Amino acid sequence: MPAMTMVQAINNALREEMRRDDRVVILGEDVGRNGGVFRCTEGLIDEFPDRVFDTPLAEGGIIGTSIGMALYGLRPVPEIQFMDFIYPGFDQIVSEAAKMRYRSGGQFSVPMTIRTPFGGGIRGGHYHSQSTEAFFCHTPGLKVVVPSTPKEAKGLLTSSIRDPDPVLFLEPKKLYRASREDVPEGELTTPLGQAAVRRAGKDVTLIAYGYMAQVCLEAAAKAAEKGVEAEVIDLRTLVPLDEPTILASVKKTGRAVIVYEAPRTGGYGGEISAILAEKAIEYLRGPIVRVTGFDTPFPYTLEDVYLPNADRVLAGIDKVMAF
């Protein structure tokens, strides 16, 4: 079983799905000969010269073309080079791809997977570091998926490509080459809509996704040194959300710290807070605490201040434990 980075695991998933299903096509800016800005599609054009397409710098065209391909029976996997640049295709995603099954009474679906790197951690500045997943989680008809390990990147991407409806697959660029993990070659699927318990604990629940799931594991290790056992829930899929796993954990621990790197106001963690307030309030032993980015553009020189880290999460744990 080879050890892979997340980039390699994504490349492996794309290659194996293209071998398995000749309906799978890849398109986007520099995804062909250049292999993508992060090299996630490197080498695929050599094996599949008729199914990997370099496109003009036109996100609306990339998404619109992919919707047409999907409606006519293909399974396109368009890449948007950075999530920060997805907005020229925003209307196509939320008004067309997400609505097609409903507006056609189930006669048509749009089985496409939009891959895009998101989040901070690579000194990308305010135009290459944003986390705007909440925009898309608000749109019925879209699935939103975020891996946090190489193995799950492969399993979740494979499941997304096979899904009959549009999926936004968000790749935490901080994790692209941060670590290696044994990743099985061949068939590997991870069900959408199922969170993972990364670490068991009895005192407080940490809820996160993507890079922040790894930050929470680090914070949980620090909390353990102080005698606090934190349970870490990695959501993996934001839409559909695995409410039962979240509620079961919080009902057990009685405390919740929600961590995301997007701006605090209107962030996806606010929805999780609302769910806990509505469905688990009688189990809560303290306030629901959020550890987040700030309500500012993403800064270049102060990136390490902006991004939640283990110490900030630990402070959130201390706050809820002391209540």
Convert the pLDDT of each residue in 107-129 to its tens digit.
999 999 999 999 999 888 899 99
Domain 3-182: what homologous superfamily? Thiamin diphosphate (ThDP)-binding fold, Pyr/PP domains (3.40.50.970)
State the pTM of this model: 0.96
CA atoms of 152 and 162, how far apart (whole Å): 15
Mean pLDDT value of segment 54-65: 97
Q: Give CA–CA dist 315/321, Å, rounded.
A: 10
Parts of the chain belonging to CATH 3.40.50.970: 3-182
* Selected catalytic residue, list 51, 75, 115, 128: 128
Q: Look at residue 40 and tell me whether its pLDDT is greater than 90.
A: yes
Structure tokens at 80: 């948007």
Let me know if 128 is a catalytic residue.
Answer: yes
C-alpha closest to that of 27 among 76, 93, 86: 76
User: Residue 72 — very low, low, confident or very high, per pLDDT cuts 50/70/90?
Assistant: very high
Mean pLDDT score of the chain: 97
Q: What percentage of the chain carries pLDDT values higher than 70?
A: 100
Which amino acid, residue 105? G
With beta carbons less than 8 A apart as the criterion, state whether 169 and 142 touch: no
- Flag whether pLDDT at 1 surpasses 90: no
Say yes or no to pLDDT of 225 above 90.
yes
pLDDT band at 178 (very low <50, low <70, confident <90, very high): very high
Query: Over 90: is that where the pLDDT of 25 sits?
Result: yes
DSSP assignment, residue 297?
P
Sequence letter at residue 110: V
Domain with CATH 3.40.50.920 in the chain: 196-321
- Burial of residue 312 (number of CB atoms within 10 Å: 0-12, 13-18, 19+): middle
Confirm if 106 and 99 have CB atoms less than 8 A apart.
Answer: no
- Is the pLDDT reported for residue 49 higher than 90? yes
**pLDDT at position 118:** 97
**Whether 179 contacts 5, CB under 8 Å:** yes
Residue 224: Cβ within 10 Å count: 14
Judged against a pLDDT cut of 90, whether residue 322 lies above it is answered with: yes
**How far is the CA of 145 from the CAs of 45, 179, 232, in angstroms?**
25, 20, 18
Contacts of 286 (CB under 8 A, 6+ apart): 254, 255, 319, 320, 321, 323
Does the 196-321 domain belong in CATH 3.40.50.920?
yes
Q: Contact 293/261 with Cβ under 8 angstroms?
A: yes
The percent of residues in the chain predicted with pLDDT above 90, rounded, is 97
CA–CA distance, 143 with 157 (Å, rounded to integer): 12
The pLDDT, as a whole number, for residue 168 is 98
Centroid of chain to Cα 228: 28
Q: Which tokens hold the place of 258?
A: 């929600």
The structure tokens 């620090």 sit at 222
Whether residue 68 has pLDDT greater than 90 = yes
Phi, psi angles (nearest 5°) of residue 236: 65, -50
Tokens representing residue 30 in the block: 């520099």
Provide the 3-class DSSP secondary structure of residue 168. strand
